[in-house]
Amino acid sequence: MIGEVTGGGPGSGGLTRPRLLVVSGPSGVGKSSVVSELRRLLPELYFSVSVTTRPPRSGENDGEHYHFVDDAAFDRLITSGELLEHAEYAGYRYGTPRGPVERALDSGRPAVLEIELAGARQVRKAMPEAVLVMLTPPTWRELVDRLTARGTEDPAVVARRLETAERELSARDEFDTLVVNADVRSAARELLTLITGDTST
């Protein structure tokens, strides 16, 4: 099935090792909502908590939403090879701790990363067996509406986000599959099928 790869690490006895699912897509496409629903559908799923230099937003908890670190600590993680991928986005750096992901997969737990395009490209190089999924909006107009709906951000900021979104969507051919997020539950079930191989969900 697409969600597994034979072999596994040392001592695995040839058991199947779940394949890492990497979910990416432009800002405003609903990645967090879809992944949250996926985690509800598959409680044993390992969800990687990223490291970031961005300060916490209201309601965010360290170790739950992100591991919040300063630039010096982030540099140390890069130097020591402890990040599976890292990238800069909107002036802050984000990275995926390698160790927890590897341990989850080696123990037989499926895992998912929710990351930006640059990070997805790095994971492709580091773990070629990973399944890369681009989450896309039903239409470009709907994505524009989502990004401008709040009306509280500077128009220049919104314009930059739209430029970035257009660039990210143009990279769709680099991904193994596309999932259209017209409905959060339906999109999450498509991701679940990619993990489990069960088309009856």
Whether the pLDDT of residue 7 is over 60: the answer is no
User: Residue 33 pLDDT > 70, yes or no?
Assistant: yes
Q: Considering the domain boundaries, does residue 201 fall inside one?
A: no
Q: Which residue range forms the structural domain that includes residue 150?
A: 4-196
The structure tokens listed for 167 are 């660039």
The pLDDT of residue 155: 85
Number of domains in the chain: 1
Whether residue 96 contacts residue 104, with contact meaning beta carbons closer than 8 Å, is answered with: no
Nearest Cα neighbor of 63 from 52, 71, 76, 73 is 52
- Structure confidence at residue 76 (pLDDT): 97
Tens of pLDDT along 64-116?
Answer: 989 999 999 999 999 999 999 998 877 999 999 999 999 999 999 999 999 98
Tell me the per-residue pLDDT of 47-66, one tens digit each, with 9 for 90 and over.
999 999 999 999 999 999 89
Q: Give the pLDDT score at 152.
A: 67
Is 68 part of a structural domain of the chain?
A: yes
Q: Is 141 left (phi over 0), alpha (psi -120 to 50) or beta?
A: alpha
The answer to whether residues 23 and 113 touch, using CB atoms and an 8 Å cutoff, is: yes
How much is the average pLDDT of 168-176? 95
* CATH number for the domain harbouring residue 120: 3.40.50.300
pLDDT at 165: 92
Rg (CA), the chain: 17
Q: What is the pLDDT of residue 166?
A: 93
Q: Is the pLDDT of residue 2 over 60?
A: no
Q: Does residue 39 register a pLDDT over 90?
A: yes
**pTM (predicted TM-score):** 0.82
72 domain-assigned: yes
Q: Is residue 95 part of a domain?
A: yes
Residue 26 placed within a domain: yes
pLDDT score recorded for residue 154: 82
